[in-house]
Amino acid sequence: MSLLAALALSGTVAAQGTAPGKTIRVSDPAIPFTISLPTGWLGVRFNDGLRGVNIASAPKAPAALMRFTFIPKQGQSLDLANEFRAFEGAVTQGGGTLKLLSSSTARYGGVTGLTHVYTLSEKGKNLKMQIWFGNGRKNFYNFQLTDAATDFSKHLPLFTAALASVQFQ
């Protein structure tokens, strides 16, 4: 199913209510992976230059956000620990406070990466994030779940299932 069709269907399902445990397979020639995403989530468009798939659990905050993005490496070699340090620095410069809860290696769809789990305090909000940075042959991948700290454990199984479904092309 194409990305646009999947997101349109996702919006339709959301209007009818979510279907726990149901997923929809998303593939698009513009992204170098396929993934199964939870139905009932809504497509979100960001103007941050990152390509991929972004979905939210609800049309307005508070909502969980899943991002599955990539950046072509253009022959460059990346150090994932350095990429995380850059991410952490950007969050801090933006006024957020991160606390690293855990770090582990993880492999999805044949791509090795590094997973960090954080708490994030920003503008009076307490969030929790799980971020996987993957170092693919051609692309750098950034897959993440961000949610209210109180709701994170509710959406983590959906994110984990999406990660397990990834197939890179």
- pLDDT per residue, tens digit, the chain (169 aa), is 333 333 333 443 333 334 557 999 999 999 999 999 999 999 999 988 899 999 999 998 889 999 999 999 998 989 999 999 999 999 999 999 999 999 999 999 999 999 999 999 998 899 999 999 999 999 999 999 999 999 999 999 999 999 999 999 9
Q: Which helix (H) or strand (E) element contains residue 2?
A: none
Matching CATH number, 3-168, of 3.30.365.10, 3.90.950.20, 3.40.630.10, 3.40.1000.10: 3.40.1000.10
Q: Which helix (H) or strand (E) element contains residue 127?
A: strand 125-135
What is the Cα–Cα distance from 54 to 164, expressed in whole angstroms?
17
* Type of residue found at 164: A
Q: What is the pTM of this model?
A: 0.86
Dig out the tokens for 148 from the structure.
Answer: 């209210």
CA atoms within 13 A on the CB side of 84: 25
Dig out the tokens for 145 from the structure.
Answer: 């779940």
- The dihedral through the CA atoms of 157, 24, 45, 33 has a sign that is positive
CA atoms within 13 A on the CB side of 15: 5
User: Domain spans of the chain?
Assistant: 3-168
pLDDT (0 to 100) of residue 61: 83
Q: Are 136 and 114 in contact (CB under 8 A)?
A: no
Phi and psi, residue 105, nearest 5°: -85, 150
